[in-house]
Amino acid sequence: MDLYEDEVALWSDFVAKTLTKTFTLTMPPEMLKIIADLADKFILERRKREVVSEDK
């Protein structure tokens, strides 16, 4: 499956914002994997939606 530039930006933005809001020194290490998995699910759900162009 190809990743498109906007998907990489969405994934990175989500992970960065979530980590910024939730990161603490006592956060369990598996929390990063959980956040990354959520971002992956967002990308997959986004692909299921119809793309609407602005010229319609």
pLDDT of 5 > 60? The answer is yes
Please give the model's pTM, rounded to 2 decimal places: 0.60
Please tell me the predicted confidence (pLDDT) of residue 51: 62
Half-sphere exposure of 46 (CA within 13 A, CB side): 13
pLDDT of 1 > 60? The answer is no
**pLDDT tens digits, residue range 12-49?**
888 888 878 887 888 888 888 888 888 888 878 877 87
Please tell me the predicted confidence (pLDDT) of residue 19: 78
Quote the CA–CA distance of 55 and 30 in Å, as a whole number. 43
pLDDT of 55 > 70? The answer is no
